[in-house]
Amino acid sequence: MATKRPTIYDVAQAAGVSKSLVSLVLQGSPRVGEGSRKAVEAAIVELGYRPSRAAANLAAGRTRVVGVLIDDYTNLWFVDLVRGLHAALGPRGYRLSVVDVATDGQAEDPIDSFLSMRVDGMVVGMDPPRALSGAGLPPIVVAGTRELPEGVAAFDRVANDDAEGGRLVARHLVDLGHRRLGHLAAAGGAARARREAFVAQARDLGAAVAGTDWVGAATDEAGYLGTMELLRADPEITGIFAANDVMAVGALAAAREVGREVPGGLSVVGYDDTSLAASRLVSLTTVNDLSFDVGREAGALLLRRMRGESGPVARIVLPPSMTLRATTATPAVTGSAAAR
Amino acid sequence: MATKRPTIYDVAQAAGVSKSLVSLVLQGSPRVGEGSRKAVEAAIVELGYRPSRAAANLAAGRTRVVGVLIDDYTNLWFVDLVRGLHAALGPRGYRLSVVDVATDGQAEDPIDSFLSMRVDGMVVGMDPPRALSGAGLPPIVVAGTRELPEGVAAFDRVANDDAEGGRLVARHLVDLGHRRLGHLAAAGGAARARREAFVAQARDLGAAVAGTDWVGAATDEAGYLGTMELLRADPEITGIFAANDVMAVGALAAAREVGREVPGGLSVVGYDDTSLAASRLVSLTTVNDLSFDVGREAGALLLRRMRGESGPVARIVLPPSMTLRATTATPAVTGSAAAR
């Protein structure tokens, strides 16, 4: 499959610089001025140039691989994160290696794994499984709202504002006329931030919230079981906020099973705005947590650290928004009538 | 998070061998006898021992990383494959690095990427993007039915029998009483094998098949659009076989949109038996293609090659089976009446 690819010479010519300078830009050298770097980057994008990394990196002792650590491949929120990371890092010749802890559950330590791969940087998209400290760690950016162990070094962090997201959901449901709500939380820092803000905001607005101490796995099955439990305990509930889209899909299955038509008989809201939520079959009202943008910003921060920039620790918080689809509406009847 | 972990000395003691022999087993050395290896492996499993690989591998110039190449993270069939690979490779200290081509679409060549990561082996879970030949390639196992470029070296291959899977679907639908079927194929070798066998078997059994030259992306949206097209062209269709679960979910959405109740008004069958098919909301009749077992067998083959065993090229074909759920039934009425 020999397709004609642009060479480094083509890039140098298009940018009006020397081949050596293109090399320096590709290596992320801080010795290149901003103007030249931009010209080279523009030429790279325009020509669709891709460096032949394997040889160059072996020579330079770098892998140009960034490790991405996530919870579980089946929870699709990570896909947009990875795409955003790729948008920031791909044009600079970096590749991503995504590892999920659900699959590797029995293994020792995914951080060690990345170290043995000699990654140039890491993106942590889950509550880190251990303290991120010690010698030999590459630059790390934490993506999403995460609970970090005490007393570790500060890391650059990028997340959507999960507390604001929780408040958006409470306002949306109360605005629609819901007064008895249920919540299904997942484990982890992001879910905790969503829950606390959702519950506080809903109560401020005069709604009751059940299930505030319920915490389950981020799976379809947990969402199903949690919803069955909530509706059994309080059939008056007319709206449920699940901590993520995959649990919300379980809630939809539970609603169907107990004969609560969505959205009139039961409204359901997820979080993450994954491809699953957007699918026509599910068409889930959810919170867009800007995972693509979180990934892109995290990638940009990581790039600067991998280039050797020190500078203060960054903390970027992006504003989430509601994505309204087919699973929320004004309650058709009060909960108990709907439950019948 | 300092948890007490078993050491290599504990393993040696439990297995009744020397520490050096445990090391040799961990390195996959062919110099270890079968009996000693089994004793050490049993002790490793029993104690939950995990070698501290980072240091050992850096010293040995190996990464103990296996690269896994797939099409698209959002098509969840790969999750079971990866879990099976992990079951075979994890206990031997190998880590997996999963890369999808959908995300990395703009990048040069995922094979080069794995080379720059210095992977010890590769598993190719898609039609390979280029000829898998040339110097410096590590051992490779092809997982799934793939179209390989002509004239390349032969690789070990593990797949479910996609042709048999296609025939199973045809028999299932015809047995239920369907006589007018539609098919939605995806690109790639596996989908082609499924389609050809499905169409031939259905026709042998006296059923008509529409859509035999339709090929779309392995996405929800393509499945939706394809189904709308099939049902517009031939409203008498009572059963649809989609090349994979994610397309089948799109077919379910289309059925709902045109008022065909599933399964009475339209039966839908997928392929892969993913977590999406098993979810309570979707509850899709599908073909179990044994992705976990394919992964485990592929991992075992790769392990032997990485140990340096030559031996003849292996070709393992596993028998798929139907997983019957809620989306297939005897047609309630003829297609045209159902379509009203």
> What tokens were used for B327?
């989306």
Question: Rounded to an integer, what distance in angstroms lies between the CA atom of residue A233 and that of residue A227?
Answer: 10
Which residues of chain A does B106 touch, with a Cβ-Cβ cutoff of 8 Å?
48, 90-91
Kindly list the distances between the CA atom of residue A109 and the CA atoms of A100, A125, A148, B2, B54, in Å, as whole numbers in the listed order. Answer: 11, 15, 16, 12, 10
Cα–Cα nearest to A316, from A304, A300, A328, A305: A300
Which residues of chain A does B130 touch, with a Cβ-Cβ cutoff of 8 Å?
1
The answer to whether the Cβ–Cβ distance between A104 and B86 falls below 8 Å is: yes
Alpha helices in A16-136 (DSSP H): 19-26, 34-47, 53-60, 77-89, 110-116
> What tokens were used for B67?
């690269």
Number of neighbours of residue A319 by Cβ within 10 angstroms: 12
pLDDT value for A134: 64
B-chain residue closest to A84, CA distance: B103
Listed as own residue / partner, the contacts of B54-61 with beta carbons closer than 8 Å and 24 or more positions apart are: B54/A112, B54/A115, B54/A116, B56/B26, B57/A116, B58/A116, B60/B27
Which residues of chain B are modeled with pLDDT < 50?
1-3, 53-55, 57-59, 106, 335-340
Interface test with B, best of A49, A76, A79, A116 (most B CBs within 10 A): A116
The answer to whether the Cβ–Cβ distance between B115 and A54 falls below 8 Å is: yes
A-chain residue closest to B83, CA distance: A103
Q: How far is B115 from chain A (nearest CA, A)?
A: 6
A-chain residue closest to B251, CA distance: A281
- Candidate from A57, A83, A131 with C-beta closest to B116: A57
The answer to whether the Cβ–Cβ distance between A52 and B108 falls below 8 Å is: yes
Residue B300 backbone dihedrals phi, psi, to 5 degrees: -65, -40
Question: Rounded to an integer, what distance in angstroms lies between the CA atom of residue B94 and that of residue A113?
Answer: 9
Yes or no: say if A266 and A239 are a contact pair by the CB < 8 Å rule.
yes
* Cβ-based contacts under 8 A for chains A and B: 168
- Candidate from B50, B73, B116 with C-beta closest to A107: B50
Cα–Cα nearest to B1, from A309, A10, A88, A112: A112
Question: Rounded to an integer, what distance in angstroms lies between the CA atom of residue B216 and that of residue B230?
Answer: 13
The answer to whether the Cβ–Cβ distance between A73 and B79 falls below 8 Å is: yes
Q: How far is B200 from chain A (nearest CA, A)?
A: 30
CA angle A263, A284, A326 (to 5 degrees): 40
Q: How far is CA B270 from the centre of its chain?
A: 14
The answer to whether the Cβ–Cβ distance between A220 and B281 falls below 8 Å is: yes
pLDDT value for B6: 72
What is the fold of A62-160+290-319?
Rossmann fold (3.40.50)
Which residues of chain A does B48 touch, with a Cβ-Cβ cutoff of 8 Å?
106
ipTM value of the model?
Answer: 0.76
In B39-155, DSSP assigns E strands to 65-70, 95-100, 121-124, 140-143
Which CATH number describes the domain made up of A162-289+323-339? 3.40.50.2300
Interface test with A, best of B3, B77, B97 (most A CBs within 10 A): B97
The answer to whether the Cβ–Cβ distance between A98 and B95 falls below 8 Å is: no
pLDDT value for B338: 44
Q: How far is A239 from chain B (nearest CA, A)?
A: 18
pLDDT value for A195: 97
The answer to whether the Cβ–Cβ distance between B104 and A90 falls below 8 Å is: yes
Model confidence over B191-229: pLDDT tens digits?
999 999 999 999 999 999 998 889 999 999 999 999 999
| From the candidate CATH numbers 2.40.10.340, 3.30.9.10, 3.30.70.100, 3.40.50.2300, the one assigned to the domain spanning B63-161+290-319 | 3.40.50.2300
Q: How far is B203 from chain A (nearest CA, A)?
A: 31
Yes or no: say if B246 and B76 are a contact pair by the CB < 8 Å rule.
yes
A-chain residue closest to B130, CA distance: A1
Which residues of chain A are modeled with pLDDT < 70?
1-5, 26-30, 48-62, 104-108, 131, 133-135, 150-153, 333-340
- Candidate from A95, A103, A224 with C-beta closest to B113: A95
Q: How far is CA B280 from the centre of its chain?
A: 22
Asked if the domains at B8-51 and B63-161+290-319 fall in one CATH topology, the answer is no
SS3 content of chain A, % helix, strand, coil (to 5): 40, 15, 40
- Could you tell me the residue ranges of all domains in chain B? 8-51, 63-161+290-319, 162-289+323-339
Dihedral angle sign, alpha carbons of residues A219, A221, A224, A226 = negative
The answer to whether the Cβ–Cβ distance between A117 and B1 falls below 8 Å is: no
- Candidate from A90, A117, A250 with C-beta closest to B106: A90
Cα–Cα nearest to A173, from A117, A241, A251: A241
Which CATH number describes the domain made up of A8-51? 1.10.260.40
pLDDT value for B278: 95
The answer to whether the Cβ–Cβ distance between A279 and B250 falls below 8 Å is: yes
Pairing of strands B321-323, B286-288: antiparallel
Question: Rounded to an integer, what distance in angstroms lies between the CA atom of residue A14 and that of residue A155?
Answer: 38
